[in-house]
Amino acid sequence: MSKYAAGKEVISYCGKCKLALSHTIVSMKDPSTIGKVECRTCKATHAYKDPSTKTKKVKSRSMIPGGKSKSMSVNDLWTEEIGKAQGKPITYSIRHTFSAGDMVDHKSFGLGIVQGIVDGKIEVLFQHDIKTLVHDK
């Protein structure tokens, strides 16, 4: 016996809501395969989409500009990174060689965390912005 049947509830991925949501089964393809479902949130009827194949998102660890998380502001990221940072801040100087994870104390931008090295420059996450700074001169 299949646990699925028309009229029953199932979690399906909704292409309109872009979420895995509760749907009502509208029709079955065969006794074990769900055909169409109706989204209880937006009321759209569409083919059943297994949420486990649609909602997996690769969480990027990259915080360099362009790869910035859309759900977090720079300020949120900064707060998180400062909380994780170890050691003492290094006063920023173009003569110092920084590496990813270093805490930087910049006289104009304040405290920042080196996110990575791009083309020989450091990408530093400050409280309000991400800056590219020269180092290792």
- Where on the chain is the footprint of Zn ion (CB under 5 A)? 14, 16-17, 39, 41-42
Taking the least distance from each CB to Zn ion, the nearer of 46 and 68 is: 46
Minimum CB separation of residue 10 from Zn ion in Å reads 13
Nearest to 111 by CA among 85, 137, 136: 85
Taking phi over 0 as left and psi of -120 to 50 as alpha, with beta for the rest, 35 belongs to alpha
Minimum CB separation of residue 22 from Zn ion in Å reads 10
R_g (Cα) of the chain, nearest Å: 24
Minimum CB separation of residue 96 from Zn ion in Å reads 52
Taking the least distance from each CB to Zn ion, the nearer of 45 and 60 is: 45
Q: Are strands 90-91 and 103-106 parallel, antiparallel or unpaired?
A: parallel
